[in-house]
Each structure stands twice: as structure tokens, then as C-alpha cells.
A and B are shown apart, each in its own frame.
Chain A
């Protein structure tokens, strides 16, 4: 048996990977990868996610972790299980247009230049951005954009958003 299980992932457009030291719980890493794939267009409505067995085989993780991730995706309205067939994407994340993204990126680069001139190092910039994002979301009375429903037991802090 080899580690590369590419052939087992036929039928799902994505495969999962894990970061051991990220501090993000394993099931949340899977959830975030599905969201990321949705934002980047690798996954669309009707696509099948890897089966529990496929994910378990390629990552060597507890099957309950995969089930928990899929339950969380169902909570967020992004996926739905079809008995005997697997879990399928049924929702979309609001995607921002390319031109809009480029404009936002431009203004962020402007801010980064300012921060650099003020003597802030990259970690300082990241910390400042994370803190500001947290304040912004708190002021709007939500913890995370794009979330629907209950986060389940492992409710995460905004600081953990990748």
C-alpha cells in the first residue's frame, strides 16, 4: 500500500491534506479546505466530496473526524449527505468578482506599504490585521462571515481563521 491514494479519489474533485502543527482541529482543517476549494472554484454544486473511507485511507485519521467535518459543512449549508452515495456540495460561498478582488488587493498593498514604512514587521502586520478583523466582526455582532447555523461543539475563535 502506498501513501499516494490518488486513484482512490476518482469521483471527487478534491483531496484533503493535514497540517500537523497548525493548532487548528483536524475536522476544521477539512471544513476550511472545502470552503477554500469552493472559493477558488475547484468545487461546485453537485460535486462529490471524498467518501469517509477515501479520506481516512489517505490521511490515516479517525473516521469520526471526517464525519464531524461533513456534519459541520451540512450545518453551514454547504454540503448534504445522500444515503448510500456520499456527501455532495449543495451550496456556494459568495464569491467576489475578479476586478473587485484586484481593487481590494491594491488598497491592501497600499496599507502594507504604509505599515512597512512605519517599521512594522510581517508578523506585526498579520497580528494587527487579525485584531482589527476580530474587532470588526465583533462590532457587527458575528464571529465569522458566511456562516450559517450552529458551529457545533468546537466553536472556533476568529483568530484561528487561516
Chain B
């Protein structure tokens, strides 16, 4: 089952295209990082998956073909928008009550247990909580409906390092307990490797990279060698980014086969996820996308629909 599937999805705000021709198939059961610079279209894509926005063109479905925003999809999706919007003047307990009344499924014991574990008092006003506590409260509310898919827009952007660690730890614990799919956006690329096992890179409204992190890392290498000896077999290697420094050239290379060795005279090293992401973001023309027949498959499903 695919948690999110999109076929040639585009979104236009007046004259600006926020997203162009985005075809994606994110399998369920992953922790998916949606990465890209500001204005890349991350929030637009997440809002469409949550059912808050409709695409201008193309088709997007969630959790195995459901229409975003339908009753069945909404019951299975937890969504936390940027900066964890909550009613700041309400005490935490009342905030829970509001969320309980707005959701069909609600595990109140779980919510109360989590808040007790985090030492967040129920009588404290939401506005008086620290940023980290507010983020944890929003996560608690989103998890209390026991979603199959949890969508988080920039969940850790405004948190200090300690609060970020604690937030990610409780998020990952929820994944270990429930096996839910998480899709989160971030413009912070460090630490991603620990959290995400599926990566989607958006850049200037276009999809640039999509794939399981293990596969992506297996197919990307850093080659270092003397400048001027740049003769790579383009059937085996695809240069994503080249960094020249006088006598030395360093290349981020996409290889045709996993764990491809470096050519003679070159040093081959493992690329970190951060290097991979930065390499692609610096060159918006490069891409690493799976399943070239995705569009065709989606077209046929549209014909049957």
C-alpha cells in the first residue's frame, strides 16, 4: 500500500506554480523526510495530502487510493501544521477535550499517559508551555487518534537541540510501538539519516529525489581524484555534482549498480545523506527518481477511475 501517491500533481497560486508535475509513490511503513529549501513546495504537498488543498492539476491519493479530505482518509491521518497551532489561551486539559470532540477516534488514556510521562500539567495554559512542550502536546493530540499516517510540517524547526532530541525520540518511539507511517518536512538536513528511511527532495516546485534511504546511499558515492583525469563511463556513473579545487576534483556520483567501485586512481567513499541532499539541491537539474513507469501506471489507473 502506498501512503501517498501522486500523479503529475501541480499546484498554482495565482500566477506562481508552487508544485509542478509531481509523481510520487511513497510506500507505507516508512519514516519519510520531505526536504527542500524554503518555497520548494513542501507545505503545499503536505497540505494536499492532508486534504486542506486541492491540486490545480493531477491526482493525489492517500493510504491506498483514498481521496484526501474524505471522511475515511481524515479518520486515519494525523496532521500537525507548521509551528504546532493550538489554542494558546486554553489549559492543556481543555485543549485535549476540544481535540477529543473533533475526532471520531480518540484514545484518551494514551494522551493522558503521554502528557504525564512528559510532565506536562493539564491545568497549565497552552500559551505558557515551552516550545518543546507545545510541540509534544501537538504530537500527543495527533497520536491520540491513532493515525495510520502522521503528517508533520516542519515539526522541529523552532525547537532547541534538547527539545528536538526529545521530540524526535518520542516520535520514533511511537513509530516503534504503532508502526505508523510518518511524513515530515524539514529544511534541516543534518540528523536526517538517523530518523528517515525514505527521502523525498523537492526543489523549486519540482520533485528531485525520491527513494529508500538505503538504496539512495548504496547508489551514491563520493569520488576523489586528480583533476584532468575526469573520464567516467557514463553508463556506470552519473555525476550529480563536481567540486573542483585546483589539483583535486571531488564528485558526487550516482552509480548504475549499488556499491559500484571507484575507477582506477580514484578514491571512492560513502556519501552521507547530508552530502547527497546538498549535492542535489545545488544542481536543480539533477534527479534520482525511481520507477520510470510510474506515470504510465498512474495514467492507466486514471483511465479505470
Contact = CB atoms under 8 A, between A and B. Distances in A.
A56 B169 contact: yes
Interface string B184-200: 00000011011111000
Nearest to B164: A60
Contacts of B176: 52-53, 56, 63
A23 interface: yes
A1 B170 contact: yes
B165 interface: yes
B173 A61 contact: no
A4 to B, nearest CB: 11
B118 A60 contact: no
A56 B172 contact: yes
B165 A3 contact: yes
Contact of B194 (A1, A58, A65, A160): A65
A86 to B, nearest CB: 13
Contacts of B119: 1
Contacts of B162: 3
A53 B118 CA distance: 16
A87 interface: no
B107 interface: no
Interface in B159-213: 162, 165-166, 168-170, 172-173, 175-177, 190-191, 193-197
The secondary-structure label for the interface of chain B is helix
B194 A60 contact: yes
Contacts of B259: 155
Contacts, number: 69
Nearest to A24: B270
Nearest to B215: A153
A109 interface: no
A53 B194 contact: no
A62 B194 contact: yes
Given A1-B117, A154-B214, A64 B197 contact: yes
B103 interface: no
Contact of A153 (B191, B195, B197, B214): B214
B268 to A, nearest CB: 9
B298 interface: no
Nearest to B170: A1
Contact of B270 (A1, A23, A26, A53): A23
B31 interface: yes
Contacts of A23: 269-270, 272
B75 interface: no
B218 interface: yes
Contacts of B270: 23, 25, 160
A26 B118 contact: no
Contacts of B195: 60-62
Interface of B: 31, 117-119, 136, 162, 165-166, 168-170, 172-173, 175-177, 190-191, 193-197, 214, 217-218, 258-259, 269-270, 272
Given A1-B119, A1-B169, 10 more contacts: A3-B162, A18-B194, A20-B191, A25-B217, A52-B176, A57-B170, A60-B166, A62-B196, A64-B31, A154-B214
